[in-house]
Amino acid sequence: MKSRLALRAVALGYLGFLILLPVGGVFWITFRDGFMPFWESITTPEALNAFYLTVFAAVVAVVANTVFGVAAAIMLVRRRFPGKQLLSALIDLPLAVSPVVVGLALILVYGTYGWFGGWLAEQGILIIFSFPGIILATVFVSLPFVVREVVPVLREVGTEQEQAASTLGASSWQTFWRVTLPSIRPGVTYGIVLTTAKALGEFGAVSVVSGRIIGRTETLTLHVEDRFQAFDLAGAYAASVVLAVLALGTLFAMNLLKPKEEKA
Amino acid sequence: MSTARSSSRSPGRSGLGGIFGGEALQRGTVLMYLSLIVLIPLAAVVWTSGEEGWSGFWAAITAPEGMAALRLTFGAAFVVTAINAVAGTLIAWVLVRDSFWGQGIFNSVIDLPFALPTIVAGLTLLALYGPGSPVGIDIAYAPVAVVVALLFVSLPFVVRAVQPVLEELDTEMEEAAASLGASRFTIFRRIILPTLMPAILGGSGLTFARSLGEFGAVVLVTGNIAFETQVASVYIFGQIEGGDIPAASAVSVVLLAFSLLALIGLNVVQGRWTRHEE
Amino acid sequence: MGITVSNISKRFGDFVALDDVSLDIQNGSLTALLGPSGSGKSTLLRVIAGLENPDSGEVVISGQNKTGTPPQQRGVGFVFQHYAAFKHMTVEDNVAFGLRIRKRSKDQTREKVHELLELVHLEGFAHRYPSQLSGGQRQRMALARALAIEPEVLLLDEPFGALDASVRKDLRAWLRRLHEDMPVTTVLVTHDQEEAMEVASEIVVMNDGAIEQIGDPTEVYENPATEFVMSFIGPITRLQGAYVRPHDLRIQLEPNGKTSEARVEELLHLGFEVRVHLRLSNDEDIWAQITRDTASQLDLKNGKTVYIVTDRSRSFG
């Protein structure tokens, strides 16, 4: 009994000092002088612009990675082809790459002096140090989540329902929309939540490719750093609180949607 | 009977054969997307790191400032992985075996570092444990800040790996050991720990890989003092801004290689561990 | 008419699932494909449905060659062992699925679904989800769903395999009655010889990817064509190199010219019947199944010497 309480105290203390106190501290510092300073900080044109860009990049990343994720998961689970294991590993690659390396990688290919960047620039398409680069970086870092969540669900659902639909006359498209997609919906939804969280919060990769032209290519996370470097601590804390609230929302959604193991 | 083989449906026939305009097109699109966004850019990093030959690569990663950054990064990653393995297992244990008021919230908090943007995590730590700390602890701009920041962001890995295994763990095994006269410590060391080991290793691998590459959480709290608190990712960032792309690429390749090694290596160890259990 | 399968072969890697199989299934019959795991019976059913492509051979349904036709256009109703219920749809929506794909009018669909739910005794369950049904109810729903598209043939893949013994028994009787009322050509795959005998009018015994025998239940039981059929369809024991069913062995206390001498080794009382383990004078073991009355008349005891005889043994060259 005593040792159990001791363990509990150690675990709670660790979490308290590492996570809860610092996060709580930011909220406390932000609202120490009331709500108005916070409101003024987050409604500056730069902050609002950063907020819109962040949301837009996240929406693009979620849509693109969801379509990709479902297609790739179907490939990995339902098809046979050589190199399947390798493909599965390659899809997980973004999880193992440092965000700064992601940024560098994108610059090397899509920058003005990059592999494709020169040609794109001739066509008048600027990616790096511009908004498309931010989107590309966001898509990169949040790419694996939908695939990873859908693969086990798809495997679990099995092929019988799809076969039943085909014997009842449903075409491939009809089977996909009416049978497969509804049955993998929990996995897709959970994957989207994780993708959103990653996309809203990415900093390193976006920081490298953004060029940080204030008011134009600044996401919320970049805005936090920018305010911090400009010694506008109130502004940095206010934007952080907005991001933290988004994170808490994500956390809530995760708990709500977390795939529960079926009790047999 | 072919129930075991029923997944080998005729291609292009039933089920999802024709989705996205046929299998070949689907495969092509998936590979193209992955290549354009992930594979070709990463290949470009590896390519660029070798552009000046082996000696150029070696010179880049052994440059004093880069070497110091790598040394700090690997040192911190090892320390963090070790602490996380112990603390993560302990937290998972308390979450599964203990029960107390507010446990649900406590459980959700574990995922907070995943959901919270890393730059916010860094700022958060700086607010509480930086200059003018309200609790009187100032660790900012010192190597220990790197460790704390990395512990923050990698908290979920070991906990979330160990938790499900611990939930599945049959208490009958422990009861059997107890009935055979084993002490509680012996039960933990001989029965529980070996069962949890693959999960702990898996979570540790993720922790290590993540620690090598982390940027957002460390960039504010460390102050980027070269030879002192500058980690590899921050060093790379500096090289990119300074225009020394080959040097940035070389250090990037080192990080990339070791992150992959950590993940693959632990997969192998994990596989071997699980196999002998069967 | 009915189903004609000619020269079908199918391999999975090195495994030969079907080896040049040909079969005629009468229009309106209820045929069982019976065999052990790996005998190819499910594969054959899936080839008929178009869920599996044969390497060679032809499938003709109701006079039309359907060999290359995708399952969507074969007009077959298929019922899976594990129901394949659409878990995210209500019972009603499950049954209506095929009709909606065919764009039937709402009234027509509603009427047809209602009629089918009545037929399978699920009238009160229209708005439930599959997870709220028992296994037997789910399988009846799956059957209604397959029947909704008015298939030319109904294919059932181990339909009762996942159910409890008692539910299984009820459903077998129900399926037979249903077939009498609605004589659509039906093929049922099973590994349970009792189920095949009870339900089907025709039994196709399969082994190792080939057909061993085709016949009605009495025929395959009484006149098995091969050693495999004899051993698969019922219990067997061996008497002097020939196969014999244990209940076709007679035990008597006096020898005559045709009897073999044996010693009673063990008696097992199985309720109405008694199983007698015997050892012949040449040290071969054999067992007989006799009624309790016969056993007590003979006053069988362990170690007692008896004489056994049969007039229904078979040898297979």
- Interface residue ranges in chain B relative to chain C, Cβ cutoff 8 Å: 1-3, 5-6, 8-10, 13-14
Residue A108's closest chain B neighbor by CA?
A: B44
pLDDT band at A124, cuts 50/70/90? confident
| CA dist., res. C178 & res. C180, Å (int) | 5
Averaged over B116-137, what is the pLDDT?
86
Domain boundaries, chain C: 3-231, 236-314
| CA dist., res. C248 & res. C250, Å (int) | 6
pLDDT tens figures, B171-183: 777 888 778 877 7
- The answer to whether residue A254 neighbours chain C at the CB level (below 8 Å) is no
pLDDT tens figures, C123-169: 999 999 999 999 999 999 999 999 999 999 999 999 998 888 888 88
What does each C-alpha distance from B128 to A15, A201, B15, B121 come to in angstroms? Answer: 14, 21, 56, 11
**CA–CA min distance C151, chain A (Å):** 9
> Which one of A78, A204, A237 has the shortest CB-CB distance to B15?
A78
Q: Chain C interface, mutation test: which of A159, A168, A171, most C Cβ atoms within 10 Å? A: A168
Residues paired with residue C252 on neighbouring β-strands, in sequence order: C307
Query: In chain B, which residues have their Cβ closer than 8 Å to the Cβ of C80?
Result: none
Does position C204 have pLDDT exceeding 80, yes or no? yes
Q: Which residue intervals of chain B are DSSP H helices?
A: 23-34, 40-49, 53-62, 64-97, 103-109, 112-115, 118-129, 143-168, 171-179, 184-187, 193-213, 216-222, 232-242, 245-277
Does position B10 have pLDDT exceeding 70, yes or no? no
Query: In chain C, which residues have their Cβ closer than 8 Å to the Cβ of A179?
Result: 86
CATH for the C236-314 domain, from 2.40.50.140, 3.30.470.20, 2.60.120.920, 2.30.40.10: 2.40.50.140
Does position B268 have pLDDT exceeding 80, yes or no? no
Q: Chain C interface, mutation test: which of A157, A160, A167, A175, most C Cβ atoms within 10 Å? A: A167
| CA dist., res. B240 & res. A233, Å (int) | 27
> Which one of C17, C53, C191 has the shortest CB-CB distance to B13?
C53
Residues paired with residue C10 on neighbouring β-strands, in sequence order: C18
Domain boundaries, chain A: 43-257
Neighbours of C6 (CB within 10 A): 15
Confidence (pLDDT) at A58: 94
Does position B120 have pLDDT exceeding 90, yes or no? yes
Residues paired with residue C60 on neighbouring β-strands, in sequence order: C4, C65
Do residue C17 and residue B10 have CB atoms under 8 angstroms apart? no
| CA dist., res. B105 & res. A214, Å (int) | 38
Do residue B125 and residue A173 have CB atoms under 8 angstroms apart? no
Query: In chain B, which residues have their Cβ closer than 8 Å to the Cβ of C40?
Result: 1-2
- Compute, in degrees rounded to 10, the torsion defined by CA atoms A233, A238, A240, A242: -170
* Dihedral sign of CA atoms B81, B83, B86, B88 in order: negative
pLDDT, greater one: B103 or A143: A143
Non-local CB neighbours of B176 within 8 Å, separated by 6+ positions: none
Q: Which amino acid is at C106?
A: K
- Compute, in degrees rounded to 10, the torsion defined by CA atoms B134, B138, B140, B141: 150
Query: In chain A, which residues have their Cβ closer than 8 Å to the Cβ of B106?
Result: 12, 15
pLDDT band at B21, cuts 50/70/90? low
Query: In chain C, which residues have their Cβ closer than 8 Å to the Cβ of A169?
Result: 72-73, 98, 101-102, 149
Counting residues of chain B whose pLDDT is more than 90, the rounded percentage is 42
Of A75-84, A140-149, C7-16, least confident by mean pLDDT is: A75-84
> Strands C3-12 and C15-25, how do they pair?
antiparallel
| CA dist., res. A22 & res. B61, Å (int) | 35
What does each C-alpha distance from C216 to B246, C29, C32 come to in angstroms? Answer: 81, 11, 10
| CA dist., res. C19 & res. C56, Å (int) | 10
Neighbours of A174 (CB within 10 A): 17
- Residue A65, token pair as written in the block: 């990675």
Using a 10 angstrom Cβ sphere, with 0-12 exposed, 13-18 middle and 19 or more buried, the burial of residue A119 is exposed
DSSP one-letter string for chain C: --EEEEEEEEEETTEEEEEEEEEEE-TT-EEEEE--TTSSHHHHHHHHHTSS--SEEEEEETTEE-TT--GGGS-EEEE-TTTT--TTS-HHHHHHHHHHHTT--HHHHHHHHHHHHHHTT-GGGTTS-GGGS-HHHHHHHHHHHHHHT--SEEEEESTTTTS-HHHHHHHHHHHHHHHHHS--EEEEEES-HHHHHHH-SEEEEEETTEEEEEE-HHHHHHS-SSHHHHHHHS--EEETTEEE-GGG-EEESS--TT-EEEEEEEEEEETTEEEEEEEETTS-EEEEEEEHHHHHHHT--TT-EEEEE-S-EE---
pLDDT band at A261, cuts 50/70/90? very low
Neighbours of C132 (CB within 10 A): 12
pLDDT tens figures, C77-94: 999 988 899 999 999 999
Averaged over B136-142, what is the pLDDT?
83
Which A residues 175-214 touch C at CB under 8 Å? Answer: 178-179, 182-183, 185
Non-local CB neighbours of B116 within 8 Å, separated by 6+ positions: A23, A201, A243, A244, A247, B124
Q: Which fold has domain A43-257?
A: MetI-like fold (1.10.3720)
Quick one: angle between helices A181-201 and A131-141, nearest 10? 120
Does position A123 have pLDDT exceeding 90, yes or no? no
Does position C47 have pLDDT exceeding 90, yes or no? yes
Confidence (pLDDT) at A260: 55
Quick one: angle between helices A144-157 and A181-201, nearest 10? 160
Domains and CATH numbers, chain B: 18-49 (no CATH), 63-277 (1.10.3720.10)
Averaged over B148-175, what is the pLDDT?
89
Confidence (pLDDT) at B6: 36
pLDDT tens figures, B190-227: 888 888 998 999 899 999 999 999 999 998 888 778 78
Residue C151's closest chain A neighbor by CA?
A: A168
Q: Chain B interface, mutation test: which of A98, A143, A147, most B Cβ atoms within 10 Å? A: A98
Confidence (pLDDT) at B12: 37
**CA–CA min distance B9, chain C (Å):** 6
pLDDT band at A102, cuts 50/70/90? very high
Q: Which residue has the tokens 């071997």?
A: B272
Q: Which residue has the tokens 């006096």?
A: C254
Radius of gyration of chain A (CA): 22
- The answer to whether residue A23 neighbours chain C at the CB level (below 8 Å) is no
> In whole angstroms, what separates CA B175 from the centre of its chain?
34
| CA dist., res. C257 & res. C267, Å (int) | 26
* Dihedral sign of CA atoms C171, C177, C181, C184 in order: positive
The single-letter DSSP state of residue A260 is P
> Strands C153-157 and C185-190, how do they pair?
parallel
**CA–CA min distance C184, chain A (Å):** 16
> Strands C210-215 and C237-239, how do they pair?
unpaired
Query: In chain B, which residues have their Cβ closer than 8 Å to the Cβ of A90?
Result: 34, 38-39
Of B250, B261, B143, residue with least CA distance to B209: B261
- pLDDT, mean over chain B: 84
Confidence (pLDDT) at B3: 35
Query: In chain A, which residues have their Cβ closer than 8 Å to the Cβ of C101?
Result: 168-170, 174
Non-local CB neighbours of A7 within 8 Å, separated by 6+ positions: B90, B93, B94, B98
Confidence (pLDDT) at A247: 87
- Interface residue ranges in chain C relative to chain B, Cβ cutoff 8 Å: 12, 15, 17, 35-43, 46, 50-53, 70-72, 81, 158, 189, 191
| CA dist., res. C12 & res. C58, Å (int) | 18
| CA dist., res. C252 & res. C261, Å (int) | 10
Domain C3-231 is found in CATH 3.40.50.300 = yes
Does position A2 have pLDDT exceeding 70, yes or no? yes
| CA dist., res. A199 & res. A184, Å (int) | 22
C-alpha count within 13 angstroms, C-beta hemisphere, residue C97: 34
Does position B255 have pLDDT exceeding 90, yes or no? yes
Residue A161's closest chain C neighbor by CA?
A: C84
Does position B81 have pLDDT exceeding 50, yes or no? yes
- pLDDT, mean over chain A: 88
- The answer to whether residue A130 neighbours chain C at the CB level (below 8 Å) is no
Confidence (pLDDT) at C216: 94
Q: Which amino acid is at C145?
A: R
Q: Which amino acid is at A26?
A: V
Confidence (pLDDT) at C212: 95
